[in-house]
Amino acid sequence: MKCPFCGFEESKVIDSRPTDEGERIRRRRECLKCEKRFTTYEIIESVPIIVIKKDKSREQFDKQKLLNGLLKACEKRPVALKTIEDAANEIELQLQNSLDREVSSDKIGELAMEKLKDIDEVAYVRFASVYRQFKDITTFLEEVTKLLDK
């Protein structure tokens, strides 16, 4: 860390403590050349996830959009809000932990369907009907049959 007073590039850490509920670390440093003290903050660098939509356009991942889709699928179903929020958080974490910085909207839809299948079967079928754009009752029945077979 470069000293703001003399520009020397080496310093020692005198004190470290978490701030902002553990989101940042405050470090008190001392320059090894001029011995003046200064404070630095360390934060996690967040790299945005880019979603490639079906029309090939790109936009930044928005967890709120995912959450809204899950909420819509679970509407009037006995599913706790916490369960839905946890599913959205798990999907976001899965995307962040992958090495890909760009992900297709299809991949996000598949992850959402996996979660909904475990949460509520009716919500799963609702989501699948919109996501897979069922064209007729036969397609709808095929998806329900797959669900019943498992």
| 21-35, 43-57, 95-109, 126-140: least confidently modelled range | 126-140
pLDDT higher than 70, residue 104 = yes
Report the predicted TM-score, pTM, of the whole model to 2 decimal places: 0.66
Question: In the chain, helix, strand, coil percent, each to 5?
Answer: 45, 20, 35
What's the chain's average pLDDT?
Answer: 90
Would you say residue 119 lies in a domain?
yes
Angle at 45 between CA 23 and CA 59, to 5 degrees: 115
Examine the pLDDT at 3 and tell me if it is beyond 90: yes
The strand pairing partners of 19, in sequence order, are: 24
In a domain, 4, yes or no: no
Give yes or no: residues 63 and 122 share one domain. yes
Model confidence at 76, in pLDDT bands (50, 70, 90)?
A: very high
* 86 and 138 both lie in a single domain: yes
Whether the per-residue pLDDT at 107 is higher than 80: the answer is yes
Minimal CA–CA distance to 74: which of 107, 118, 132, 104? 118
pLDDT at 114: 92
Of the chain, the end-to-end C-alpha distance in Å amounts to: 57
Range of the domain at 58: 50-149
Q: For residue 146, give Cα distances in angstroms to 59, 111, 139, 143.
A: 33, 17, 11, 5
User: What is the count of structural domains for the chain?
Assistant: 2
Query: Residues 64, 92: one domain?
Result: yes
Distance CA 4, CA 30 (A): 11
Give the per-residue pLDDT at 95.
92
DSSP β-ladder status, 37-43 and 50-52: unpaired
Q: How confident is the model at residue 135 (pLDDT cuts 50, 70, 90)?
A: low
Residue with tokens 């998806």: 143
Is residue 136 in a domain? yes
- pLDDT value, residue 11: 96
Range 20-33 average pLDDT = 91
